[in-house]
Amino acid sequence: MEGRFFKVKTSQEVLAIIDGFHPLDEEFAAVEQGLGRVLSRDITAPEDLPAFSRSSVDGFAVRARDTFGATEAMPALCEIKGEVIMGEVPEGTLWAGTAWRIPTGGMLPEGADAVVMVEHSHLLDEKTVEITRPVSPLENVILPGDDFGKGSLVLGKGHRLRSQDLGVLAGLGILRVPVARRPRVAVISTGDEIVPIGKSPKPGQVRDINRITLSAFCINAGAEPFALGIFPDRFDAVAKAVRDGLEAADMVWISGGSSVGTRDLTLKVFETIPEFELLAHGISISPGKPTIIGKSRNKALVGLPGHVVSALVVAEIFMGRLLSRLSGESPVRTFLNQPIEAVLSRNVESAPGREDYIRVRLKEKQGIIYAEPIFAKSGLISSLVVSDGLIRIDVNCEGLYEGEKVPVLQFSTGLRTPWNGTPFIFER
Amino acid sequence: MEGRFFKVKTSQEVLAIIDGFHPLDEEFAAVEQGLGRVLSRDITAPEDLPAFSRSSVDGFAVRARDTFGATEAMPALCEIKGEVIMGEVPEGTLWAGTAWRIPTGGMLPEGADAVVMVEHSHLLDEKTVEITRPVSPLENVILPGDDFGKGSLVLGKGHRLRSQDLGVLAGLGILRVPVARRPRVAVISTGDEIVPIGKSPKPGQVRDINRITLSAFCINAGAEPFALGIFPDRFDAVAKAVRDGLEAADMVWISGGSSVGTRDLTLKVFETIPEFELLAHGISISPGKPTIIGKSRNKALVGLPGHVVSALVVAEIFMGRLLSRLSGESPVRTFLNQPIEAVLSRNVESAPGREDYIRVRLKEKQGIIYAEPIFAKSGLISSLVVSDGLIRIDVNCEGLYEGEKVPVLQFSTGLRTPWNGTPFIFER
């Protein structure tokens, strides 16, 4: 088998190849639709946020010096001369020895330089308030631009947008957000035995599992998949599908046809594409070895293994990163996606010279998370369903031992998973 | 302040309250649109998967006993009598002493009980193959139902669907998937100072940051938000909005109006709702204390703090879990969402008797992840943008020390983040 792959690459080499792809062009997303999109340029504040001096507490706007030395026993007395109404500009000026009622978020009246919290005040009568603690100038006050001064950097190019980022952009009046276009992925299934999922397979036939799995993976990674259909293992049919895919998409994923002849067919088809460059003909990992990666300009042509288990491992390890790269996501911050640490529940062997990805199920016992390797007969799909993630055995390693701590790359649902009852996991 | 909250609850009490809500009713999702949805019942296999005996390798279908004792030096000889075509039923029977060519995934011919890998064979001529290693019965064969036998459990109720789960469902011909309806959240902004994000705020006014942030949070958690708009802090206006929201949604989130009077208004409005039950009037956490949680039947009424920082902390810690609960997600598996562990970069103080949530930024230095607390002036929004997650300081704890390991709940983008160059983090 080995001899068939002329450009077998290690996983590190493949990751470097992937990092050679360029981000896609820019488009503008409505801020309401920006979740998970990646900024295509630095965003600077077009105006001050906040735009005016605001109180950060409920209380009394004052001149700080009027409160100096105030105590419970010797409170400062202020005459109440006004009230700040939310959303309105306070009319008039706050003079020495006076105070204005002010709600959280209210605009500071002219002349005021601090706010006394309502807890540190005591009403003598409707017109007079006792201040029982001094405030320093600017205490409980947010100045214009304290959040973001006009022209300052708000969010950097390559940042993937979260809920709060969208809120801040909206707060600054940035309603159209410059982002990298979502990668479009043409998903092609090949194989004479594959039938559409809506059809009842005859003996010898199977439904198109790969299309559904790989399309969902793309959505999960922020890409736009579209399935071109199922094609027989014939040069003309596959060549046309690849050309159609390349025209409409940023990359083409062929999967299916796991038999030897078909793998050759995929490469032969790729080689007819103008400016095609073969980058990897095989990756030295298991499962997932018979993967072909090439490019034509900035468009990737990928031949994924036909078996869905192998195809998904390659997607998790490499295609997610390629999609991220095309989205222009900053690699600097991707360390945030840490695998979770678990304790291996039994020994796992591996052949030296091979990088293995082992499916594991996570189980919790008495606060400890165990990774239980799933040893399934080769070719079974069910192993993916019962597993929660992957562990990796390095190429130079002959195996991992029971009790060892291993990082687990979890499979994702594409959604925020709720946090597991805070108090328990945060006990010290 | 304390006296105003008659039903202040601890975070643990609030989580227990949340777990008292019931999952929403069932609907059917197309398998193509099932990513992240939660199964509303157990799924059993309607048929065997695979449906027929398949080869898991490229090679030769044989009778295992014909290969017993075969070695490189003394190979077993078989006459090649046929070839399995992908997707077709092999015609004829495989007799003793013969072999059929078979591709991966091909259907086993009648009479064959094992497959010899092509690597362990050697063609003598077009009609004869030497087998150089014995195979046992069923070796390299997947039997009908090996993945899932008809009637066996495929995925359990409460499971949130991932790419591979959808693939397997499609493979079994399950094209309409029973799932819990997505929670619909009516998002109401209140406050006389709030203007729609498309409007230029006048002095004293601010744009509706909360609507954008909370709506995106809902999407991220698999819910369907709809914004009812911005309402002045007046009983009639807010009461109508809440009633409209309850009619159309599964829960109502009011946010804004962080001043004391407004909080009272929210509760007063809630109390006019039929069958309203106040569950929490304040949560003993910081930020996020002035949160109101109540219900009317199975519908939640939530008054979130007006400040977006506090509102988002409450959403991350409690509302995500409530949405998960309404989706029927199995709490058993939520331990999978582990906070990542980081090293605290400096001391953090906390008042005993208060549960604190501190925003942190994660930084990597020489392979170690540090959590750097963000100490922002109260009321600043920018702290949310520069932070990557939250750490928690327990109510009985006076602070955390520099160098201590802390779990960090990361903010999410709603998308699968690509894994950070496998090889580096998996070195042992």
Round to whole Å and give the CA distance between A197 and A86.
Answer: 58
At residue A262, the pLDDT reads 63
At residue A6, the pLDDT reads 65
Q: Which CATH superfamily is domain A2-25+181-329 in?
A: MoaB/Mog-like domain (3.40.980.10)
Interface size A-B, in CB pairs within 8 Å, comes to: 431
Q: Is the pLDDT reported for residue B3 higher than 60?
A: no
Mean per-residue pLDDT for B287-304?
Answer: 94
How far is Cα of residue B249 from the mean position of the Cα atoms in its chain? Answer: 22
Does the distance separating the beta carbons of B167 and A209 come in below 8 Å?
A: yes
Residue from A405, A410, A406 nearest A388 by CA: A410
Q: How far is B381 from chain A (nearest CA, A)?
A: 6
Nearest to B385 among A56, A164, A413 (CB): A164
Does the distance separating the beta carbons of A335 and B146 come in below 8 Å?
A: no
Q: Is the pLDDT reported for residue B424 higher than 90?
A: no
Q: How far is A385 from chain B (nearest CA, A)?
A: 6
| Element holding A17 (H helix, E strand) | helix A11-18
At residue B427, the pLDDT reads 29
DSSP track, A271-316:
TTSTTEEEEEE-BSEES--S-EEEEETTEEEEE--SSHHHHHHHII
Q: Is A379 on the interface with B (CB under 8 A)?
A: yes
At residue A201, the pLDDT reads 96
At residue A256, the pLDDT reads 75
Does the distance separating the beta carbons of B147 and A222 come in below 8 Å?
A: no
Residues contacting residue A380 through CB under 8 Å, at least 6 positions apart: A309, B142, B146, B147
Q: How far is A34 from chain B (nearest CA, A)?
A: 8
Residue from B356, B260, B268 nearest B317 by CA: B356
- Give the residues across from B176 on adjacent strands: B30
What digits encode the pLDDT tens for the residues B118-175?
999 999 999 999 999 999 999 999 999 999 999 999 999 998 898 889 999 999 999 9
Question: Looking at chain B, which residue has its C-alpha nearest residue A169?
Answer: B209
At residue B1, the pLDDT reads 40
Mean per-residue pLDDT for B221-233?
Answer: 92
At residue B426, the pLDDT reads 31
- Give the residues across from A107 on adjacent strands: A54
Question: Looking at chain A, which residue has its C-alpha nearest residue B422?
Answer: A317
Q: Taking a contact as any Cβ pair under 8 Å apart, which residues of chain A between 213 and 272 contact chain B?
A: 213-217, 219-222, 233, 258-261
- Which class is A30-48+153-179 in CATH? alpha beta
Mean per-residue pLDDT for B394-401?
Answer: 88
CATH number of A54-142: 2.170.190.11
For chain B, the domains span 2-25+181-332, 28-48+151-179, 54-142, 338-425
**Chain A partners within 8 Å of B1 (Cβ):** 119
Share of chain B above pLDDT 90, in %: 67
Does the distance separating the beta carbons of B306 and A197 come in below 8 Å?
A: no
If 0-12 CB within 10 Å is exposed, 13-18 middle and 19+ buried, where does residue B63 land? buried
- Exposure class string for A256-283: b at 16+ Cβ within 10 A, else e: bbbbeebbebbbebbeebeebeebbbbb
Q: Is the pLDDT reported for residue B414 higher than 70?
A: no
Domains B2-25+181-332 and B54-142 share a fold: no
Nearest to B219 among A35, A89, A170 (CB): A35
Q: Is B51 on the interface with A (CB under 8 A)?
A: yes
Span of A83-97, B6-20, B404-418 with lowest mean pLDDT: B404-418
Q: Which CATH architecture has domain B28-48+151-179?
A: Alpha-Beta Complex (3.90)
Mean per-residue pLDDT for B204-209?
Answer: 94
Q: Give chain B's mean pLDDT.
A: 89
Task: Specify the higher pLDDT residue, B181 or A368.
Answer: B181
**Chain B partners within 8 Å of A321 (Cβ):** 418-419, 421
Q: Across chain B, which distance is largest between two alpha carbons, in Å? A: 94
- Encoded tokens for A400: 């991992």
| Element holding B102 (H helix, E strand) | strand B98-102
Round to whole Å and give the CA distance between B218 and B221.
Answer: 5
Q: Taking a contact as any Cβ pair under 8 Å apart, which residues of chain B between 139 and 198 contact chain A?
A: 140, 142, 146-148, 154-155, 160-173, 175, 191-194, 197-198
Does the distance separating the beta carbons of B148 and A220 come in below 8 Å?
A: no
- Give the residues across from A93 on adjacent strands: A110
Q: Which CATH architecture has domain A338-425?
A: Beta Barrel (2.40)
Question: Looking at chain B, which residue has its C-alpha nearest residue A366?
Answer: B335
Span of B34-43, B66-75, B359-368 with lowest mean pLDDT: B359-368
Q: Which CATH architecture has domain B2-25+181-332?
A: 3-Layer(aba) Sandwich (3.40)
Asked whether the bond before B50 is cis by omega within 30 degrees of 0, the reply is yes
Digit-by-digit pLDDT tens for chain A (428 residues) are 444 456 889 988 998 999 999 999 999 999 999 998 999 999 999 999 999 999 999 999 999 999 999 999 999 999 999 999 999 999 999 999 999 999 989 999 999 999 999 999 999 999 999 999 999 999 999 999 999 999 999 999 998 898 889 999 999 999 999 999 999 999 999 999 999 999 999 999 999 999 999 999 999 888 999 999 999 989 999 999 999 999 999 999 999 755 556 668 999 999 999 999 999 999 988 889 999 999 999 999 999 998 898 999 899 889 988 998 999 988 765 555 567 788 999 999 988 778 888 999 988 888 788 999 998 777 788 888 888 888 888 888 889 999 999 888 878 766 655 544 333 233 22
Does the distance separating the beta carbons of B382 and A213 come in below 8 Å?
A: no
Nearest to A415 among B36, B259, B362 (CB): B36
CA distances from A331 to A197, A206, B416 (A): 37, 39, 14
Q: Is A377 on the interface with B (CB under 8 A)?
A: yes
Q: Is the pLDDT reported for residue B335 higher than 60?
A: no
**Chain B partners within 8 Å of A323 (Cβ):** 418
Q: How far is B332 from chain A (nearest CA, A)?
A: 9
Residues contacting residue A221 through CB under 8 Å, at least 6 positions apart: A319, A320, A323, A324, B415, B416, B418
**Chain B partners within 8 Å of A338 (Cβ):** 340, 369, 420, 425
| Side-chain-facing half-sphere of B227: CA atoms under 13 Å | 20
CA distances from B246 to B135, B186, B278 (A): 66, 8, 16
Does the distance separating the beta carbons of A384 and B104 come in below 8 Å?
A: no
Does the distance separating the beta carbons of A394 and B428 come in below 8 Å?
A: yes
What is the DSSP secondary structure assignment for residue A161, as one 8-state letter? P
Round to whole Å and give the CA distance between B398 and B394.
Answer: 8
Does the distance separating the beta carbons of A213 and B164 come in below 8 Å?
A: yes
Residue from B222, B178, B195 nearest B25 by CA: B178
Q: Is B359 on the interface with A (CB under 8 A)?
A: no
Query: Strand B355-365 and strand B389-393: pairing?
Result: antiparallel
Mean per-residue pLDDT for B63-70?
Answer: 97
Q: Is the pLDDT reported for residue B310 higher than 50?
A: yes
Q: How far is A296 from chain B (nearest CA, A)?
A: 23
Does the distance separating the beta carbons of B427 and A394 come in below 8 Å?
A: yes
**Chain B partners within 8 Å of A419 (Cβ):** 316-317, 320-321, 334, 337, 339, 409
Predicted TM-score (pTM) of this structure: 0.90
State the complex-level ipTM.
0.89
